[in-house]
Amino acid sequence: MSHDFSLGTVDVSLTPLQRFEEFLQSRGKRVTQQRRIIVDRVFSHHEHFDADQLLEQLKSQVSDQSVSRPTVYRTLSELVDAGLLRKMVLNDRSVYEHDYGYPQHDHLHCEKCDKLIEFSSDEVKEIREAVARKHHFRAVGHRLIIYGLCADCSRTKRAARRLDLI
Amino acid sequence: MSHDFSLGTVDVSLTPLQRFEEFLQSRGKRVTQQRRIIVDRVFSHHEHFDADQLLEQLKSQVSDQSVSRPTVYRTLSELVDAGLLRKMVLNDRSVYEHDYGYPQHDHLHCEKCDKLIEFSSDEVKEIREAVARKHHFRAVGHRLIIYGLCADCSRTKRAARRLDLI
DNA sequence: ATTTATGCAAATCCTTTGCAAATCT
DNA sequence: AGATTTGCAAAGGATTTGCATAAAT
What's the pLDDT score for residue B160? 52
Evaluate whether A24 touches A35 at the Cβ level (below 8 Å).
yes
pLDDT band per the 50, 70, 90 thresholds, residue B42: very high
Chain D nucleotides reached by a protein CB under 7 Å: 3-10, 14-18, 23-25
pLDDT digits (tens, 9 = 90+) for B46-79: 999 999 999 999 998 877 788 999 999 999 999 9
Buried b (16+ CB within 10 A) or exposed e, B14-53: bbbbebbbebbeeeeeeeeebbebbbbbbbeeeebbebee
Interface test with A, best of B115, B137, B145, B165 (most A CBs within 10 A): B137
Distance from CA of B147 to the nearest CA of A (A): 5
Highest mean pLDDT: which range of A72-76, A92-96, B117-121: A72-76
pLDDT of residue A166: 45
Give the max Cα distance, chain A.
Answer: 57
Per residue in A146-157, pLDDT tens? 999 999 988 765
- Indicate the domain borders of chain B: 12-102, 104-166
Give me the mean pLDDT over the B108-130 stretch: 92
CA A56/CA A66 separation, integer angstroms: 9
Please give the single-letter amino acid code of residue A147.
Y
Over residues A4-28, the mean pLDDT reads 79
Q: In whole numbers, what is the pLDDT of chain B averaged over residues?
A: 87
- A14 pLDDT more than 80: yes
* Reduced 3-state DSSP string for chain A: CCCCCCCCCCCCCCCHHHHHHHHHHHCCCCCCHHHHHHHHHHCCCCCCECHHHHHHHHHCCCCCCCCCHHHHHHHHHHHHHCCCEEEEEECCEEEEEECCCCCCCEEEEECCCCCEEEECCHHHHHHHHHHHHHCCCEEEEEEEEEEEECHHHHHCHHHHHHCCCC
Put simply, the answer to whether B128 touches A146 (Cβ < 8 Å) is yes
How many residues comprise chain B?
166
Q: Which nucleotide is nearest to A33 (CA to C1')?
A: D23
Q: What is the pLDDT of residue B2?
A: 42
User: DSSP labels for B68-94?
Assistant: -HHHHHHHHHHHHHTTSEEEEEETTEE
What's the DSSP call for residue B143?
E
Task: Name the residue among A92, A128, A135 with its Cβ closest to that of B151.
Answer: A135
Please give the residue that has the higher pLDDT: either B13 or A90: A90
- Binned at pLDDT 50, 70 and 90, residue A62 comes out as confident
CA–CA distance, A1 with A5 (Å, rounded to integer): 13
Parallel/antiparallel/unpaired status of strands A106-110 and A138-149: parallel
pLDDT of residue A8: 45
Subunit contact A143:B142, Cβ cutoff 8 A: no
Q: How far apart are CA B149 and CA B68, in angstroms?
A: 36
Q: In what order do the strands lie in the sheet with A116-119?
A: A116-119, A106-110, A138-149, B138-149, B106-110, B116-119
For residue B115, the Cα-to-chain-centroid distance in whole angstroms is: 13
pLDDT score for B114: 87
Check residue A154 and give its pLDDT.
Answer: 84
Contact between A104 and A125 (Cβ < 8 Å):
yes
Q: What is the mean pLDDT of residues B106-113?
A: 92
Tell me the residues of chain A between 120 and 139 that have a Cβ less than 8 Å away from chain B: 121, 123-124, 127-128, 131-132, 134-139
| CATH code linked to domain B104-166 | 3.30.1490.190
Contact B108 A139 (CB under 8 A): yes
Q: How far, rounded to the nearest angstrom, does the alpha carbon of residue A51 sit from its chain's CA centroid?
A: 12
The answer to whether the beta carbons of residues A128 and B146 sit under 8 Å apart is yes
At residue A7, the pLDDT reads 46
Contact between B67 and A64 (Cβ < 8 Å): no
List strand D contacts in B 75-134 (CB < 7 A): 75
Q: By the 8 A CB rule, do B144 and A139 touch?
A: no
**pTM of the complete model:** 0.84
pLDDT-based confidence at residue A72 (cuts at 50, 70, 90): very high
Conformational region of residue B107, where left means phi above 0, alpha means psi within -120 to 50, and beta covers everything else: beta
What is the Cα B83 distance to its own chain's centre? 11
pLDDT band, very low/low/confident/very high, at B164 (cuts 50, 70, 90):
low
For residues B73 and B36, the answer to whether their CB atoms sit within 8 Å is no
Q: Cβ atoms within 10 A of the Cβ of A52, count?
A: 12
User: Does the C-beta of A91 come within 7 A of strand D?
Assistant: no
pLDDT, mean of residues A4-31: 81
Asked if B141 contacts B128 with a C-beta cutoff of 8 angstroms, the reply is no
| Assigned CATH class of A12-102 | mainly alpha
Output the average pLDDT for chain A: 88
